[in-house]
Copies of this chain bind each other. A is one copy, B any other.
Amino acid sequence: MPSRYTIGLDYGTNSVRTLVVDIANGKEVGTAVWNYRHGADGVILSRDPNLARQHPADYVKGAEQSIRKALAQVKRKVRGFKPEQVVGIGVDTTGSTPLPVDRQGKPLAFQKKFSKTPDAMAWLWKDHTGVAEAAEITDLARKLRPHYLAKCGGVYSSEWYFSKILHCLRTNKEVSEAAYIWVEIADWIPALLTGTEAPEQLTVGICASGHKAMYNDVWRGYPDEEFLGKLHPGLAALPRRLRFKPQTVNRSVGGLTKEWAKRTGLKEGTPVAVGAFDAHLGAIGAGISEGTLVKIIGTSTCDIAIARVEKPLKDIPGLCGIVEGSVLPNHYGLEAGQSAVGDIFNWFVNYLRPDGKNGNHEALAAEASKLKPGESGLLALDWNNGNRTILVDQRLTGLLVGQTLYTTPAEIYRALVEATAFGALAIINRFEEYGVTIERVVNCGGIAEKNPFVMQIYADVTGRPMMISRSAQTCALGSAVAGAVASGCYSSFAEAQNAMTGLKPRVFKPNPAANAVYKDLYKLYRTLHDAFGTTSWNGNLYPVMKQLLDIRNRARK
């Protein structure tokens, strides 16, 4: 029997990637990237620094081009390969990235009059134009529907679905009136490929609706009309325009249309899985299971854990999302994250440009790796871009303490890496305080793959082994796994993950002596964290500098 393959389509911020994977062993036999053509690297900007949009034409062209190119690569590499050996497709995207569409489910931006209107395009995840509306939604929910907030960390974000739509309702009447519904691109792209964009036919995923649109079976669906109506009458109508209950990614939304078969060279009717966000399918691609935290480490991190629905689960304060089925069916998907990780290291290297010519990541990491824990006397907070989990507060900033007249760039670089590790530990501890045990961490992304210095510190700080996902394209691989399950080739994600995903051989094990020092430093980190980040802390910080000096003196002995 010839090999069977599935495709993972991974829509990022600047480009889309197609990955073709052998479902028997996870072998990645072909891949291609297509860079978006609109805006700056695919992002439409304006004078308002909060605005970030994408043109949906890039999604369409990107699917066609990247699939064709990837298939061409497979043909060159795999003797006798035929496109009908591709048996399923999965799709992951950024999010929340809602797109206003018309009565037929077509993007408004495809209409001539809206083709250059940013408000008619997709509102990219990092668009923050809805800051005021997010605060309004949070305030109203606090008063009237506190249970809504309990599932999303206590604060409704400006990055999310209703904040963006409400901002459009408040500021652009023409687009708002032309928009029949707003669809997350995680849902719209599978619908496009299967011809199911019409609102009556549209399948939305539980990942996007649960994490960004406050959908939850506990309150029987989306926020109720009374609540939405108090925000704006235009919001109230949206949920009832969707027919189907949100689905998990093991389901197919339909088969590839004849047109898309022609455009891509794939077989008509090939099943397309329900779409989900990159981090959630990335967690699947990293082999997530109970007890495993998957960290997708990039400029920021997305941290995903799961918990079986049979066990009772309390609301976990500060988590950005607790959604049944958002990662795997029959499991709660638990989403946390750090607002900046790689971005902090990049800030130090690119903005401060320290250490003259030697100020690159490699040189700084090499020098910093020679230092012992605590030896620099430094301690930092990883809040240069706010704190997503566990404080859910964008209005926080960085802090560095312990500088002397001899503090070096490598010492600061290490302190910044350690700060992100302390931030990671705060998240792990929060999970465990609420009964979700984290025994091991699987890391994905460039920093995880290329930076053993960072991974060793993470192991030493958290006291847990750090593993690295085998695939360099974990999100696309997770989409391909979803494609394999949705197509019926596997009857469960456990089976599919077992066959298709894996870890790199190198595991970073915690060093007990380093971990002991970091336990002391973490206490001081939490003191600063709570003193600057919460209103409930009360005390005195006199011991902080003294204890840092004591730890330093012990480390230097």
Which chain A residues have a beta carbon within 8 Å of chain B's beta carbons? 340, 343-344, 346-347, 351-357, 359, 377, 383-385, 395-409, 412, 531-542, 544-546, 548-549
Contact = CB atoms under 8 A, between A and B. Distances in A.
| Of listed A357, A402, A541, residue having the most chain B CB within 10 A | A541
**Chain A facing B: main interface SS:** mixed
B395 A546 contact: yes
A399 B545 CA distance: 10
A541 B541 CA distance: 10
22 contacts: A340-B405, A347-B406, A352-B352, A352-B354, A352-B408, A352-B409, A353-B354, A353-B355, A353-B359, A385-B405, A397-B401, A397-B402, A397-B403, A398-B400, A398-B402, A398-B404, A399-B399, A399-B402, A400-B401, A531-B531, A536-B540, A538-B538
Contact of A405 (B343, B377, B409): B343
Given A351-B407, A398-B403, 9 more contacts: A352-B409, A385-B405, A397-B545, A399-B401, A399-B403, A532-B544, A533-B542, A536-B540, A538-B538
Contact of A545 (B355, B412, B532): B532
Nearest to A407: B351
Q: Which 8 A-B pairs have the closest CB atoms?
A: A398-B403, A399-B401, A353-B356, A531-B541, A347-B405, A397-B402, A532-B541, A535-B542
A399 B404 CA distance: 9
The complex is assembled from copies of this chain, and their number is 2
B403 A384 contact: yes
A411 B540 CA distance: 28
A397 B412 CA distance: 14
Contacts of A542: 531-535, 537
A377 B384 CA distance: 11
A408 B344 CA distance: 13
Contacts of A545: 383, 395-397, 532
A395 B377 CA distance: 12
A390 to B, nearest CB: 15
Contacts of A541: 531-532, 537, 541
Contacts of A404: 347, 384-385, 397-398
| Of listed A403, A538, A546, residue having the most chain B CB within 10 A | A403
A399 B357 CA distance: 26
Nearest to A398: B403
Contacts of A377: 397
Contacts of A406: 347, 351
